[in-house]
Amino acid sequence: MTLFELEQRAAPEGRLVRVRLTVAYDGAGFRGFAVNEGVRTVAGTLGAAIERVLGHEVRLTCAGRTDAGVHAWGQVVSFDARADGLDIAVLQRAVNAMCGPEIVVRVAEEVGDDFDARRAAVSRRYRYTVLNRPWPDPFLARTAWHVDQPLDLDLLRLTCDPFIGEHDFSAFCRRPRVPDGSPPASLVRRVHDACWTDAGDGLLRLDIEASSFCHQMVRSVVAAMVEAGRGRLWPGELADILRSGDRGRAPGPAPPHGLCLWEVRYR
């Protein structure tokens, strides 16, 4: 690494300000959000662009780490920047010029130093899009799961009820690894709302909001709901699967490209 590169990555000095970004991205070309050495990620690409503009290293905190192939419209990121010479509007334009159109900073603003994109969030809302018609659409292929069998919208809407409230989602989540000897991580989550809407022309959308989500939770829930919409499961069976905590009883996760982190809400 050259001296110039070392200077570019030097830690910020002097008075710092907290910056909040609302970020949209097409996740198709990334191996998820979180920095992962040797692979292309959203945080790696976005962080490198921010550092290049600011001239110092930054540590990004995000509202939720999306998996490979998952998109975002309302991801929120926060970091500390050197106050001297900081121009938020210039930062936004420069980052968008370097990262767009795959990654776009929709909003950039200075916030109080007590703001934390992850810890201050009270809920996250995801949107999953299904294209339900016999033929695919090349312009939606990157952002919607094409299901050619007819889905019953009334049944889909009934599938939402079992998931609303606080539940152990072990049957619908990929259990995280923990160090040997440590207790298993809790997969209890509180879902505030879930609903399917018909956007017309075969587009069906699930909006689901919760305090937080565990790994693959939304995609696994969607896969089970779609099975019910096909008539292969009754909505009441989903409640039994949820109560069982048995990951083997739930259908495999739906494809990642239909999922989008739509909004993060704060106090």
Domains of the chain: 3-111 (3.30.70.580), 122-266 (3.30.70.660)
Q: What is the pLDDT of residue 14?
A: 79
Burial class (CB in 10 A: 0-12, 13-18, 19+), 144: buried
Average model confidence (pLDDT) for the chain?
Answer: 93
Q: What is the pLDDT of residue 16?
A: 95
**C-alpha angle 44/46/48, rounded to 5°?**
65
Retrieve residue 162's tokens.
Answer: 């079992």
Q: What is the pLDDT of residue 252?
A: 87
**pLDDT category, 27, cuts 50, 70, 90?**
very high
Q: Is 67 a catalytic residue?
A: yes
Q: What is the mean pLDDT of residues 11-39?
A: 92
User: Catalytic one among 67, 148, 152, 161?
Assistant: 67
Asked if 168 contacts 178 with a C-beta cutoff of 8 angstroms, the reply is no
Q: What is the pLDDT of residue 178?
A: 59
DSSP element (H, E) containing 197:
strand 188-200
42-54 and 88-99 helices, crossing angle to 10°: 130
**Cα 258 to chain centroid, rounded:** 11
pLDDT for 55-114, tens place per residue? 999 999 999 999 999 999 999 999 999 999 999 999 999 999 999 999 999 999 999 999
CA distance 62 to 76: 6
Q: What is the pLDDT of residue 3?
A: 29
Q: What is the pLDDT of residue 11?
A: 59
Q: What is the pLDDT of residue 180?
A: 64
In eight-state DSSP terms, residue 102 is T
Q: What is the pLDDT of residue 10?
A: 54
CA distance 66 to 42: 9
Q: Which residues pair with 71 in a beta bridge?
A: 260
Q: What is the pLDDT of residue 107?
A: 98
Is the pLDDT confidence value at 251 over 50? yes
What pTM was computed for the model?
Answer: 0.92
Burial class (CB in 10 A: 0-12, 13-18, 19+), 192: middle
Is the pLDDT confidence value at 182 over 80? no
